Amino acid sequence: MTDFIIEVSELTKSFKSQPALRGLNLKVPAGSIFGFLGRNGAGKTTTLKALMGLLRPDSGSARVFGIPVADADRSAELRRRIGFVTEDKELYPYMTVEQIIRFTRPFFPKWRDDLEQRYLKTFELPLKRKIPDLSKGMRSKLMLLLAIARGADLLILDEPTDGLDPAATEDVLRELVAIAASQQTTIFFSSHQLSEVELIADHIGIIDHGRMIVSGELDDMKARYQRLQIVFAGETRTPAHWVEGVENVRREGRTVSILASRNVDAIVEQARALPGASVERFPVTLKEIFLEHVRDN
């Protein structure tokens, strides 16, 4: 049986009667790197804040390490085990790198001096520099260091590579994979950068309009999803009812393009039975899966 670090069930949250989460369901397996995808305003940050206990859901339940996030008495215990990197990457403007590390360390009994030293070196963070004098990339790295060195069992990262240059992005992604592998840390991160997610995530979830529309193992998803291209010699035809598993159908001239999520063989058979049809199968990228789902939704 899989252990889930995060379990969210039918979570709803509205802001001034504007729904942000509409019955969100989410399960993040222990030890996974879970990429949480969605358009702007889809509900990603609201979900992350709800998991951190910064927002109170209107209904539904959310548990992290089996502890309800709404349980105020155990909230501090939860946060001791979570490293959180915020979207804005803001830290105290009156502290230096050294001061904020010294400030953060005592809150976490499992603080890892070895990781602190390692990431200070890896990320080339200048100890004496004031936080406002750091670039956004440097601040992102510093936040990651503060999240990682606390010995967290779970990292919740909101757009961790936002604002980073390609080299810094590469550094951060590489280190995230290393942390997940070596520290058995579960990583739950939101991102717009589909190529990055595809590179490091082993599980993904796509949220749109406050609902999870796709979730699962990335490899499994990429194996299941295929694009079928049907080219007709004459007039294009489609059956009255496709076999279950067709996510999207698009026509262009004499070509019909289908995104299939399951029963691919049966769909191919059905397509081949159409008069004058020749069918080709193509693998799909995460970007295609994402775009098809959010467009449809």
Partner 1 sequence: MLWYKGWLETRFRVLFALVVWAYVLISAISRGVAGHAGPKEFLLAPFVIWLLVPIMLAGAGIHTQPAFRAVKGLHGSMLFTLSLPVSRLKLLAVRAGLGWIESASLIVLVCACLWTLFPQLRQAEFIEYVGVLLACMTPIYCITVLLATVLDDIWRLYGSGIAIGLLWALFSKTPFPRSLNIFRAMGVGSPLMAHSVPWGAVALSLSLAAALFFAAVKIVQTREY
Binding residues vs partner 1 (CB under 8 A): 49, 52, 54-56, 72, 75-80, 82, 84, 86, 88-95, 99, 102-104, 106-108, 143, 146
Beta carbon nearer to partner 1, 72 or 178 = 72
Torsion 184-221-204-139 (CA) sign: positive
Least Å from the CB of residue 97 to partner 1: 14
Beta carbon nearer to partner 1, 53 or 245 = 53
- Residue 214, SS3? strand
Beta carbon nearer to partner 1, 75 or 257 = 75
Least Å from the CB of residue 94 to partner 1: 5
Least Å from the CB of residue 55 to partner 1: 5
Which DSSP symbol is given to 131?
Answer: G
Beta carbon nearer to partner 1, 90 or 133 = 90
Q: How far apart are CA 3 and CA 55, in angstroms?
A: 25
Structure tokens at 164: 């980073």
Q: How far apart are CA 50 and CA 160, in angstroms?
A: 18
Least Å from the CB of residue 1 to partner 1: 29
Beta carbon nearer to partner 1, 146 or 214 = 146
Q: How far apart are CA 205 and CA 27, in angstroms?
A: 9
Q: Which helix (H) or strand (E) holds 268?
A: helix 264-272
Q: How far apart are CA 291 and CA 186, in angstroms?
A: 26
CA 287 to chain centre: 13
Structure tokens at 107: 């809150």
Least Å from the CB of residue 139 to partner 1: 10
Angle between helices 97-104 and 136-148 (to 10 degrees): 20
Beta carbon nearer to partner 1, 34 or 84 = 84
Beta carbon nearer to partner 1, 76 or 178 = 76
Least Å from the CB of residue 92 to partner 1: 5
Phi, psi of 34 (to 5 degrees): -105, 115
Q: How far apart are CA 141 and CA 135, in angstroms?
A: 10
Least Å from the CB of residue 12 to partner 1: 14
Amino acid at 41: G
Measuring CA to CA, which residue among 40, 47, 37, 62 is closest to residue 221? 37
